[in-house]
Amino acid sequence: MPVRLDRSSSDFADRFAAFLATKREVSADIENATRAIVNDVAARGDLALIEATRKFDRLDLDASRLRITPAEIDAAVKACDAVTLEALTFARDRIESFHRQQLPKDMRFTDAQGVELGWRWSAIDAVGLYVPGGTAAYPSSVLMNAVPARVAGVERVVMVVPSPDGKLNPLVLAAAHLGGVSEIYRVGGAQAVAALAYGTATIAPVAKIVGPGNAYVAAAKRLVFGKVGIDMIAGPSEVLVIADRTGNAGWIAADLLAQAEHDASAQSILITDDAALADDVERAVETQLKTLPRAQIARASWDDFGAIILVNKLDDAVALANAIAAEHLEIMTSDPEAFSLKVRNAGAIFLGPHTPEAIGDYVGGSNHVLPTARSARFSSGLGVLDFMKRTSILKCGPDQLRALGPAAMTLGKAEGLDAHARSVGLRLNLP
Amino acid sequence: MPVRLDRSSSDFADRFAAFLATKREVSADIENATRAIVNDVAARGDLALIEATRKFDRLDLDASRLRITPAEIDAAVKACDAVTLEALTFARDRIESFHRQQLPKDMRFTDAQGVELGWRWSAIDAVGLYVPGGTAAYPSSVLMNAVPARVAGVERVVMVVPSPDGKLNPLVLAAAHLGGVSEIYRVGGAQAVAALAYGTATIAPVAKIVGPGNAYVAAAKRLVFGKVGIDMIAGPSEVLVIADRTGNAGWIAADLLAQAEHDASAQSILITDDAALADDVERAVETQLKTLPRAQIARASWDDFGAIILVNKLDDAVALANAIAAEHLEIMTSDPEAFSLKVRNAGAIFLGPHTPEAIGDYVGGSNHVLPTARSARFSSGLGVLDFMKRTSILKCGPDQLRALGPAAMTLGKAEGLDAHARSVGLRLNLP
């Protein structure tokens, strides 16, 4: 049974705080093991990568077999079902259109003193994309990571994907092909992250690594952070549905279960001001669970981390939603647009009854890589800007240096940095 | 003596690669010590914070004395020299104007299918700003961190600054006052980072922590990353000057030394196609070092990490500059603007002979918190976007769901996520 909270009960504040503090992930102590793998690949390159792949993926490779060939990719594409390929292409096109809107503009302006200021955006040269193997191999995630990188203008998009026992999902390779990935290597785990960060004889290093992975991958990304850029560390997925009496219980239940089926650590939350709707949703969840293929996972998630929170009035849900800072927020109220304007912390908002989150997962066009575990309080979903960087530009002539220089000299001296002051003073003939 | 490389020599590639790989920072093994401090503050709050402050800063506080009072801030402002305060205010105003230009626009559009898409930017609720104590206490850095946060709309800007033996730099407090900092606490080190991330009875937690610090502060930021957001881990500062025969050797030498005086680990590099200029700069550095107050530090930096690289033609400098990816790039050539367009990797570019980097450090208006240690290959200087996050918005009506739904159902089923497919199918009466 999910937890049930009532905002009007006297112990609500404590129970809500405890609910927010619930840890959904066990963080095993794997840092030392990960560090050993990363250091080994940094030191011994391909050899260490091949040994780790033999050990963890039970796959014997030599350096020439690390890279997946164009012929193998073609074969994978041909092995895919035509309708699925068409849906992937449809998704790719929509993701590309949406992300094109995110391309930033350069800026250049001259201020009142005549100083020229501004900045220029440019793409990162090379990006690594980690794709998990096995059951968590989602072709849609390949698109969500690769397409924004290509839209940003990244020239080398290098994908790594483990193939345990030699098995690879053809749809993942098809998505890489559609997404414009430049190179694919059949390696995974901490060893693949290390290869991307440090480079090996076969895999040239990249400047940033993105994409989800298991705890070893996350730990490896943390370790190489600084040497290369990384995206956020993804946690288990979550949805918050806010509904009033206009909500359709069956649809809401379906959305809560769509989240819950991801992972036993996923979290589905309903906040409503309608106790009858809450009951109806809870019943509908039970009914729908009966015929769900991944019922066992969804059941575990719903029982362990699910929640239904009753509020007296819908406005009380605003503060709760901002505290929860959900990765996905569905609003099914009489005026979803107006309500959404009050919410500051959410990865993505899905407005109205006809926007189930699954649309955003696949074909909406916006990115499904979104901040989890309350990190929407301080971070954003993946986007084109994550594959670019900004160089600022400053240009003074002699007049501008005369106008700005004395203040810079004052501050340099105040900070005990006389060479700073001197670099200005020399040009102005000032002591 | 700085290293001297000649691009036309046969071993240049190897020597340049070795130069790029030089580590300028010793990373002591302090992670376990830091983890203990962070966990203690997370568990025991104020008490642990006060004990650590007594131990590391030799300062006895009780909870009521953690926060610096408005009266103390007023007194500090009054203790500052008027000319310096005026320069700080001038800097503040220019930083504020520049960063206002970075405020992002929300986006909302309707595509051909009638789907409404877009995103909304919002400020992070509360941000922590770490300010080092002692010699590295730079009022200019307080402005560079606090002003963009306020421009972004952050409501709570919480500053922590250690006061070893009770000493505090009044200019740092004055800068905090001018920069719009909301709360200041006299604590530092890993314990202050932990207090900001986890909160204590006295210090409410923040959602993101920015600002430079020593190795313990950097390690603590790494540890709390995920719980809160963090900015980049700053390394020692560096400048790359690219000059042709139009360069003024004395000015270039002054700029190289302005970088070198920061820190013995700082790095100053000159690339030129003019061997005579290279010689002149090297001589000018020696001359200027004789009268520099921080000559010992600057000398160590220049001898250990300084470099002069000769190229046959200026265009050869482009690839080197992109590989070095300098925090600061000064271009003093006959056409600096044209040259700058070829450089992709740099934190900030300073164009022409009248734009010494020190102007950007203080009063240019652009941010002086910039990516170091080659991280300009994948990251940007601090800006308004670092204090905001983006929520994406998706809205379908019944027609749009009919248009997009089937492809989403196909992909959901292909990924084995039947509840995803069902959440769409239920609404469309599709199986």
Q: What is the mean pLDDT of chain B?
A: 95
Length of chain B: 431
* Domain contains A117: no
Q: Which residues are registered as beta bridge partners of B230? A: B209
From residue A405, alpha-carbon distances to A183, A430, B137, B178, B349 in Å are 50, 10, 22, 21, 18
Phi, psi of A127 (to 5 degrees): -130, 140
Residues A77 and A189 in one domain: yes
Residues B44 and B93 in one domain: yes
Residues B247 and B194 in one domain: no
Q: Give the residue from B198, B422, B429 with the most A CB atoms within 10 Å of its CB, the best one to mutate.
A: B422
The one-character DSSP state at B271 is E
State the Cα angle at B168 between B162 and B173, rounded to 5°: 95
Q: Does B344 touch chain A (CB under 8 A)?
A: yes
* Domain contains A160: yes
Residues B186 and B212 in one domain: yes
Residues A336 and A372 in one domain: yes
Residues A96 and A221 in one domain: yes
For the beta sheet containing B156-160, the strands, ordered from the edge strand earlier in sequence to the opposite edge, are B183-185, B156-160, B126-130, B208-210, B229-230
Q: Does B98 touch chain A (CB under 8 A)?
A: yes
pLDDT at B136 over 70: no
pLDDT computed for residue B26 by the predictor: 58
pLDDT computed for residue A237 by the predictor: 87
How far out from the chain centre does Cα A252 lie?
A: 24
Per-residue pLDDT reduced to its tens digit, B375-412:
999 999 999 999 999 999 999 999 999 999 999 999 99
pLDDT computed for residue B27 by the predictor: 62
Scanning the structure block, which residue is given the tokens 């006299």?
Answer: B186
Integer Cα distance of A138 and B420 in angstroms: 13
Residues B161 and B217 in one domain: yes
Q: Which of B96, B261, B327, B357 is catalytic?
A: B327
Per-residue pLDDT reduced to its tens digit, A287-312:
999 999 999 999 999 999 999 999 99
In chain B, which among 197-216 make CB contacts under 8 A with chain A? 207-208
pLDDT computed for residue B55 by the predictor: 96
Establish whether this prediction's ipTM goes over 0.90.
yes
* Domain contains A213: yes
Integer Cα distance of B122 and A345 in angstroms: 8
Among the residue ranges A65-79, B23-37, B263-277, B371-385, the one predicted with the least confidence is: B23-37
Q: Which residues contact B55 (CB under 8 A, 6 or more apart)?
A: none
Q: Are strands B388-395 and A348-351 parallel, antiparallel or unpaired?
A: parallel
Q: Which residues are registered as beta bridge partners of B208? A: B127, B229
Phi-psi region of B153 (alpha: psi -120 to 50; beta: other; left: phi over 0): left
Q: Domain range holding A138?
A: 31-104+123-230
Strand locations in B148-196 (E): 156-160, 183-185
Q: With contact defined as beta carbons under 8 Å apart, do B158 and B197 qualify?
A: no
- The stretch B134-149 carries a mean pLDDT of 90
Q: Which of B328, B330, B357, B368 is catalytic?
A: B328
Q: Which residue of A has its CA nearest to B288?
A: A419
Query: Which residues of B belong to the annotated binding site for substrate?
Result: 237, 259, 262, 328, 361, 415, 420
Residues B316 and B211 in one domain: no
Integer Cα distance of B119 and B390 in angstroms: 6
* Domain contains B401: yes
Residue B198, both tokens: 């986890």
**CB pairs below 8 Å between A and B: how many?**
375
Would the CB atoms of A391 and B347 count as touching at under 8 Å?
yes
Name the domain boundary from B230, B260, B276.
Answer: B230
pLDDT computed for residue B123 by the predictor: 98
- Residues of chain B positioned with their CB less than 8 A from the CB of A249: none
Q: With contact defined as beta carbons under 8 Å apart, do A243 and A276 qualify?
A: no
In chain A, which among 38-67 make CB contacts under 8 A with chain B? none
Q: Give the residue from A404, A409, A429 with the most B CB atoms within 10 Å of its CB, the best one to mutate.
A: A404
Q: Is A184 helix (H, G, I), strand (E, B) or coil?
A: strand
* Domain contains B135: yes
Q: Which of A327, A330, A357, A368 is catalytic?
A: A327
Q: Give the residue from B351, B362, B399, B418 with the most A CB atoms within 10 Å of its CB, the best one to mutate.
A: B362
Q: Which residues contact A109 (CB under 8 A, 6 or more apart)?
A: A116, A117, A118, B101
Phi, psi of B219 (to 5 degrees): -65, -40
Counting Cα atoms < 13 Å in the Cβ hemisphere of B207 gives: 24
Q: With contact defined as beta carbons under 8 Å apart, do B363 and B94 qualify?
A: yes
Number of domains in chain A: 3
Residues A47 and A162 in one domain: yes
Per-residue pLDDT reduced to its tens digit, B309-341:
999 999 999 999 999 999 999 999 999 999 999
In chain A, which among 277-306 make CB contacts under 8 A with chain B? 288, 292-294, 298
* Domain contains B108: no
* Domain contains A286: yes
- Nearest CB to A394 within list B366, B378, B393: B366
Name the domain boundary from B230, B258, B287.
Answer: B230
pLDDT computed for residue A27 by the predictor: 61
* Domain contains B320: yes
Integer Cα distance of A128 and A209 in angstroms: 5
Residue ranges of chain A with pLDDT lower than 50? none
Give the minimum alpha-carbon distance from A5 to chain B in angstroms, rounded to a whole number.
Answer: 24
Counting Cα atoms < 13 Å in the Cβ hemisphere of B384 gives: 20
Q: Is A207 helix (H, G, I), strand (E, B) or coil?
A: coil
Residues B53 and B194 in one domain: yes
User: What CATH number is given to the structural domain containing B88?
Assistant: 3.40.50.1980
pLDDT computed for residue A222 by the predictor: 86
Integer Cα distance of B43 and A92 in angstroms: 47
For the beta sheet containing A183-185, the strands, ordered from the edge strand earlier in sequence to the opposite edge, are A183-185, A156-160, A126-130, A208-210, A229-230
Scanning the structure block, which residue is given the tokens 């769409």?
Answer: B424
Scanning the structure block, which residue is given the tokens 């959901």?
Answer: B412
Integer Cα distance of A317 and A309 in angstroms: 9
Name the domain boundary from B230, B248, B278.
Answer: B230
Residues B204 and B291 in one domain: no
Integer Cα distance of A240 and A346 in angstroms: 9
Q: With contact defined as beta carbons under 8 Å apart, do B243 and B252 qualify?
A: yes
The one-character DSSP state at B363 is T
pLDDT computed for residue A143 by the predictor: 98
Q: Does A171 touch chain B (CB under 8 A)?
A: yes
- Nearest CB to B414 within list A171, A354, A389: A171
Integer Cα distance of A53 and A188 in angstroms: 8
Residues B99 and B130 in one domain: yes
Would the CB atoms of A356 and B225 count as touching at under 8 Å?
no
pLDDT computed for residue A261 by the predictor: 96
Closest CA to A191 of A236, A229, A221: A221
